[in-house]
Amino acid sequence: MSTFAAGIKPFPLARPKYLLFAILAFMLVYVVVHDESFLVHPKDPMWQHYQPFKWWLLPHGIAGACALVLGPMQFSYRLRHRFRRLHRVIGRIYVAGVFVAAPLGFYIQYFEERMGNPRSFSIAAAADAALWMITTGIGMVFILKGKVQEHRQWMTRSFAVALVFLEVRVIGGVGGWENLDVHANETIVWVCLAFSILSADLVLQWQRLEPSPSVVRRRSSASPERMLEAPLGNPAAYVCGPEGEFQEVKVVPNRRWASGRW
């Protein structure tokens, strides 16, 4: 029976985190090819549109790209625990990118208002920038106070707001709504922004249903064979050691537990 139990392996399921990263990679590639390809074509007509504010667009684009590319790395469990210094450096770059890209994005949209865009679109850009900076700032404050769990939650919300940049362009491009008037794009911005925090909280709640890596390691440290060989007479008197062997535990009243190998 022990051999049979040892041969049972759970069916491998794709972790939702990897699925989210795959979707993110698809959106990033789509936006780069569909919306940002003018960067490698100097004669593209889009340059004429960006000409009045191109020097504001350059730092905004670099800072935003750093936040979008480096952000997913912060959710890697291995990176956080094996390369903590790198994790902190990337985190600082992400925060700096947010506080550079967000206000510049609003200013660029306000600049385009002078070129004919409605004021309501500038308000949507201001709301997006404010929400991105607020969620990032709260997450930064929590980590400075040593509250790691709250820090992770708010940085997840921050990155969900950052993805609005990609979501708006993917939805507009795939659905063909980008060819409509500016109000259609503004509506897409508001919808993506409204669901950004909700989507982040759904991901956080889903993660609570998964066992943490430390729990998985503790469960897999003892082999099934050794667990099945546990004595049945007094199971409370034995515990499983870190290497899979059982240890006898003697209960001493009003004293600490004394243990010896079984």
If you search the block for the tokens 């969620």, which residue do you land on? 135
| 40-53 pLDDT tens trace | 777 777 777 777 87
The type of residue at 100 is V
CA-closest candidate to residue 220, choices 248, 240, 246, 247: 240
Mean pLDDT, the chain, as a whole number? 77
- Rounded to 5°, the CA angle 45-48-53 comes to 140
| pTM, two decimal places | 0.69
Q: How many residues does the chain have?
A: 262
CA-closest candidate to residue 164, choices 43, 58, 67: 67
**Domain range list for the chain:** 16-210, 218-261
In which band, very low, low, confident or very high, does the pLDDT at 4 lie, cut at 50, 70 and 90? very low
Task: Indicate the DSSP class of residue 249.
Answer: E
Is the pLDDT at 262 greater than 60? The verdict is no
- End-to-end CA distance of the chain, in Å? 22
SS3 238: strand
Is the pLDDT at 211 greater than 90? The verdict is no
Is the pLDDT at 10 greater than 80? The verdict is no
Q: Which long-range contacts (CB under 8 A, 24 or more apart) does 192-196 make?
A: 192/164, 192/167, 192/168, 193/124, 193/127, 193/128, 193/131, 193/161, 193/164, 196/131, 196/157, 196/160, 196/161, 196/163, 196/164
In which band, very low, low, confident or very high, does the pLDDT at 206 lie, cut at 50, 70 and 90? confident
SS3 222: coil
The pLDDT, as a whole number, for residue 160 is 93
List strand residue ranges (DSSP E) for the chain, in order.
238-240, 246-250, 258-261
The type of residue at 108 is I
**Poorest-pLDDT segment among 114-118, 124-128, 206-210:** 206-210
The pLDDT, as a whole number, for residue 19 is 80
Is the pLDDT at 38 greater than 50? The verdict is yes
> With the C-alpha atoms ordered 175, 178, 179, 182, is the resulting torsion angle positive or negative?
positive
How far is 177 from 180, CA to CA, in rounded Å?
5
In which band, very low, low, confident or very high, does the pLDDT at 123 lie, cut at 50, 70 and 90? very high
How far is 10 from 7, CA to CA, in rounded Å?
10
Is residue 149 exposed (0-12), middle (13-18) or buried (19+ Cβ within 10 Å)?
exposed
CA-closest candidate to residue 122, choices 203, 75, 44, 189: 189
Helix H, strand E, coil C: the string for 17-61 is HHHHHHHHHHHHHHHHHHCCHHHHCCCCCHHHHHHHHHHHHHHHH
| 97-119 pLDDT tens trace | 999 999 999 998 888 888 778 88
